[in-house]
Amino acid sequence: MRPRSALALFLLLPALAFAAPRLKVQPPEGFAEAEPGKDAAYRALSPEGMLYRVRLFRNEPEKPLGFWGEALKNHLVKEGYRLNGEGRAFQAGETAGTAFEWVVPFGTESYLYLTAVLVTSKRIIVAEAAGPYALFTRYRQGLDQSLQSIRLH
Amino acid sequence: MRTAPVLLALALLLTAGLGAQENTLRQGVQVSMLVADPDLAGDRIEQWAEAQGGYLLEKSSERVVMRLPQAHLPQLRGFLEGVSEDILDFSPKTEDLREELWATRSGLRSRQEILHRNLALLDQADAEGTLAIEQELLSLIQEVEGLKARLQALSLDQLYARVEIALSFQESPLPKDIPSSFGWINQVSFYNFVEEGF
């Protein structure tokens, strides 16, 4: 190995070690993946325009799923969102998650808004999907499967 | 021992009297529920209501308004749970009609009495008096008809509950921004999500 290449590799190693993790998500059945935007969030879209997004946040202060799941739920309840049924726990590989559905008035329709949170030691993964009630229920199973496919690399 | 049959007969009479007691409650229910297909849900609600002896007042994709025999009101929630995915609100309302019934009936009785008295006076009156009595009679007849209609409406309320079912969640928009102490939670918002899109 030439000295320059070795030096470049030496300088690159710390950067690689601290590089932001990347999301890997299977799109919900029937959804098309969109190109990642500037925020590196994962996005997919149904033919009817229903949105699905998965984002990453730093787990700061570092807290477990129970804490962040409750924090988000309490905040949305305080804002006036109405829960649709009970929340559900799910597993995405080795990462546990919790998902809630909210009923939200939008225009003249009732929308369902899915918020799912997964927590690793360093990251909080937040998935969202929203659509008119009847449309959302058609894709619910596919959304659940996609939530279970979320991985961090 | 002779008093026993008399007491029994008295008890039976009292029980029969209570059984025949007039229902004086107006009942109603306001429901808000989520359904995947509002039109299909509306059809199912209509069929069920008719099978129970009720009838529809209004049906659209947004809401159903119907009259349901009060006796079948306890079964309503169970049926709606089967039609909807989630019942967001189920608010029964009961109102005592005794005062209103009493006022309407006594008002009707008194006006009918005055009407009969005025009719009797009509034969004895001269031309001018006849005109005055006729005007009075017309006004009384209008009042009597109005009170009869009111009494009919009250009788309907005594028999049938009014059920209003909203097939979607129609409330005022949610407040947009109540800040959270946690930065990332502030970025989770339905409206931002839907409006930002891609």
pLDDT of residue B15: 43
pLDDT of residue B19: 43
> Measuring CA to CA, which residue among A43, A21, A37 is closest to residue A95?
A21
Distance from CA of B198 to the nearest CA of A (A): 8
CB contact under 8 A, B169 and A76: no
CA–CA distance from A115 to each of A76, A121, A144, B10, B132 (Å)?
10, 20, 11, 67, 76
Q: Cα–Cα–Cα angle for A83, A89, A93, nearest 5°? A: 140
Structural domain includes residue A32: yes
Instruction: Write out chain B residues lying below 8 Å of A84, CB-based.
Output: 34, 85-86
The ipTM (two decimal places) reads 0.84
Closest alpha carbon within chain B to A131? B194
Scanning B58-87 for CB atoms below 8 A from A yields 62, 85-86
H-state helical runs in A47-128? 65-79
CB contact under 8 A, B36 and A84: no
Cα–Cα distance, B69 to B161 (Å, whole number): 6
CB contact under 8 A, B174 and A80: yes
Phi-psi category of residue B95: left, alpha or beta, with phi > 0 → left and psi -120 to 50 → alpha: beta
CB contact under 8 A, B190 and A104: yes
Nearest to B175 among A51, A57, A80 (CB): A80
CB contact under 8 A, B170 and A110: yes
CB contact under 8 A, B188 and A76: yes
Nearest to A78 among B169, B171, B178 (CB): B178
- In a mutational test of the A interface, the residue from B169, B178, B191, B196 whose CB has the highest number of chain A CBs within 10 Å is B169
Q: Which residue has the tokens 């005592």?
A: B96
> Measuring CA to CA, which residue among A144, A145, A153, A92 is closest to residue A118?
A92
Structural domain includes residue A119: no
- Please list the pLDDT of chain A residue by residue as tens digits (153 residues): 555 555 555 554 444 444 667 889 999 999 999 987 777 899 999 999 999 999 999 999 999 999 999 999 999 998 888 888 888 999 999 999 999 999 888 877 788 999 999 999 999 999 999 999 889 989 999 999 999 999 988
Taken in order B113, B119, B120, B126, is the CA torsion positive or negative? positive
> Measuring CA to CA, which residue among A120, A7, A125, A112 is closest to residue A55?
A125
Q: Is A85 on the interface with B (CB under 8 A)?
A: yes
- The phi and psi torsions of A38 (rounded to 5 degrees) equal -65, -30
Nearest to A133 among B34, B188, B193 (CB): B34
Closest alpha carbon within chain A to B177? A79
Nearest to B190 among A45, A58, A102 (CB): A102
> Measuring CA to CA, which residue among A14, A28, A10 is closest to residue A128?
A28
Q: Which domain holds residue A44?
A: 6-109+126-152
CB contact under 8 A, B172 and A111: no
Spatial contact of A90 and A97, defined as CB atoms under 8 Å apart:
yes
Residue B31: strand pairing partners: B90, B165
Structure tokens at B70: 């009060």
Please report the number of interchain residue pairs, chain A to chain B, with beta-carbon separation below 8 angstroms.
Answer: 87
Cα–Cα distance, B114 to B140 (Å, whole number): 8
Q: How many separate domains does chain A show? A: 1
pLDDT lower than 70: segments of chain B: 1-20, 169-176, 197-198
Spatial contact of A24 and A150, defined as CB atoms under 8 Å apart:
yes
Structural domain includes residue A146: yes
3-state SS assignment for residue B181: coil
Structural domain includes residue A90: yes
Structural domain includes residue A116: no
Structural domain includes residue A102: yes
> Measuring CA to CA, which residue among B79, B78, B71 is closest to residue B160?
B71
Spatial contact of A58 and A123, defined as CB atoms under 8 Å apart:
yes
Q: Is A141 on the interface with B (CB under 8 A)?
A: no
Q: Which helix (H) or strand (E) holds B110?
A: helix B98-122
3-state SS assignment for residue B197: coil
